Structure 1
Amino acid sequence: MDISILKSSLVKLNDFIYFDENQYLREKCSNYEVLNVLSHQFEEAIKSIEQYSKMEKIFLFGNLGNLYRIAGDNKQAIIILEKSFKLAEENGLKKLKIANLIRLGEAFKFAGQYEEALRLFDIAIQTLTPTDDFGLLDFALQHKGKCLMELDESELALSHFQEALCIRKRKEDSSLIHSTQLAIQFVKENRKN
C-alpha cells in the first residue's frame, strides 16, 4: 500500500478524534468504523513490511500502535509501539525514538500501567532537557501531566501543563495551545480540595 494514502487517511481520521471530558481528556474516536478501516489498512501494509524503508516501517508501526490505543486495544498498542520504538532505536533515529517513547508511555497509561507510563515520560523529558533539539518536550510534558491528572496529582499535573503551555506559545501552534489550555481548565475544575 502507498504510504501517502495512509497519511491522507490519518489526516481525515482527525475529524473524528476528540478529547473525552468524562475520561480525563483521553483521545477517543466518534466514528469507530473509520478507525477500524484505517487500522485494517495499516495491518495490510505491515503484512508486506519488508518492501518499506526504515522510516516507513517506523511510521507504520507507530501509527498502527496509536490506532490500537485509541480503539482500546492497549495490549496490541503496546506490542506494536515497542516494535516502532526498537526500530527507531536500532537505526539511531533519535527523534522517532523519543516520539515513540511518548506514544508508548501513553499506551501504558491507557492500559492503567501508570508507573511505567511515568517512567517513559520521564526518560523522554530527561532526554529532551535542556536543548529539546527535536521539538518534542511539550508533548512529553503534556502527556506526563495527563498521566498525573489521572492519578489525582493536580498540582504536579498543572506544573507540567504550564511548562508545556509556555513552549507551545513559543511555537505559536494554536491547536497545541488550545489542547494544553483545555487540560489546565479540566484540572482546575476537577481537582479535589
Structure 2
Amino acid sequence: LHDALNAFEKARNLFRKLGNTNKVSALLNDMANINSNLGNVEKCLSLYNEGLKITEEINDLPNKSLILFNMGTIYLSQEDFKKASEIFNKAMEITKKTDIPRYKAHIFMGLGDIDKKKGNLNKSLKKFSESLKIFEKVADSDGVFLALENIGEIYLKMGQFESAEKNYAKAENIANELNGIKYKAKNLMNYGELFRYKKEFNEALKKYESAIKTFEDIEMPEDLAYCYEKRGEVFLKLKKKAEYLESVVKAHEIYVIIHLEKKALKIREKLKKVDKKFYKQQFPNY
C-alpha cells in the first residue's frame, strides 16, 4: 500500500503540472482511500476535502457524490453517526441528479451501517436489501458481496442463524468468483462470527485464525483488529484468560494506531472488568 501511495502521489503531481483537474481529483480520492486503509484518518480527510474542492470548482457531481460517501465512511468508522448521516444524505441528494445507481447503493449501505450500529436492525435490513437489489441490477459483484455479508450480520444479530448462513453462503460464492484475497478473508471472518454467535467456539477460533493471517498479509488493519477482538471474546468464553488478554491487547494496539479510539476505549473498559490488575499494568496512562 505504501508503494501504491507513492506512485499515486507522483502521478498527482504530474497531472497538476498538466492542469488535468479530473485526474488530480480521482488520484486524491485513491490516495485518501489508501490512507484510510492504513488508519491515517486526518490525512485521509484532508485529501478528501482537497478533492471535494476540485469537484465543486469543475462541477463534477458524480465524483463529488463519491468523495462525500467516502468521507461519510470515515466518520462512521469514528462512530460519529450524526456527521456520517449528514454527509451520506448530502451524497444521496447529489446522486438523484447524476442517476448513478451504484453510488446510490453504496450510500444505502452507509446509512444501513449507521442503523446497524445504533441497533435499528429492521431499518438497517431494509437499507441493505435495497442496496443489494441495485447492485444485482447493475451486476456489481463487489457490491453484492458487501450487501450480502451485511445482511448476514443483521440476521446474526436478530438470532436468525439459518438466514445469516444462507446470505454468507451466497457471499462465499461471490468471493470465489471474484477470487480476491480480501473477499476470502472477510468471508472467513463472517463464518467466525456465525460460529461465535452459535456458540461453536472452536470452529469460530479456526475461522478467526485464518482470517487474521490473511488480513496481516494484505494490510487491512481494522478488520485485523476486529478479528483479534472477537477471537479474544471467544477465548474468554472458553475460560482461557491469558489468550483473551493477549488477543484483545493486540486489537487495542491496532485500534490506537489507526485512530479508532472509541473502539479502543470499549476494549479497555471490558478488560478492566475482567482483570483490573492487568488493566492497570497494561494501561498505566489511562
TM-score range, shorter chain: 0.7 to 0.9
- 5 Å matches for 1:1-193? 2-3=104-105, 4-14=107-117, 16=118, 29=119, 34-43=120-129, 46=132, 50-51=136-137, 52-129=139-216, 131-135=217-221, 136-188=223-275
Equivalent pairs counted in the alignment come to 171
Structure with more helix by fraction = 2
- Matched-pair contact (CA < 8 Å) for 1:161–1:183: no
Point out where structure 1 has 5 or more consecutive residues left out of the alignment: 17-28
- Pairwise CA distance, 1:145: 0.6
When normalised by structure 2's length, the TM-score is: 0.54
Q: Which has the higher contact order (CA 8 A, sep 6+)?
A: 1
- Pairwise CA distance, 1:48: 6.9
1:73–1:186 CA distance, 2 compared to 1 (3 A) = farther
- Matched-pair contact (CA < 8 Å) for 2:205–2:231: yes
Identity of aligned residues (%): 20
- Matched-pair contact (CA < 8 Å) for 2:112–2:125: no
Task: Identify the range of structure 1 (137-146 vs 35-44) with the bigger mean alpha-carbon deviation.
Answer: 35-44
Structure with more strand by fraction = 1
When normalised by structure 1's length, the TM-score is: 0.76
- Greater C-alpha radius of gyration: 2
- Pairwise CA distance, 1:86: 3.2
Q: CA RMSD in A?
A: 2.3
- Pairwise CA distance, 1:170: 1.6
Give the Cα separation in 2 of the matches to 1:161 and 1:117: 16
Q: Secondary structure at the match of 2:220?
A: coil
Give the Cα separation in 2 of the matches to 1:163 and 1:40: 35
- Matched-pair contact (CA < 8 Å) for 1:158–1:187: no
State the one-letter code of the partner of 2:140.
S
Task: Identify the range of structure 1 (120-129 vs 43-52) with the bigger mean alpha-carbon deviation.
Answer: 43-52
- Pairwise CA distance, 1:56: 1.0
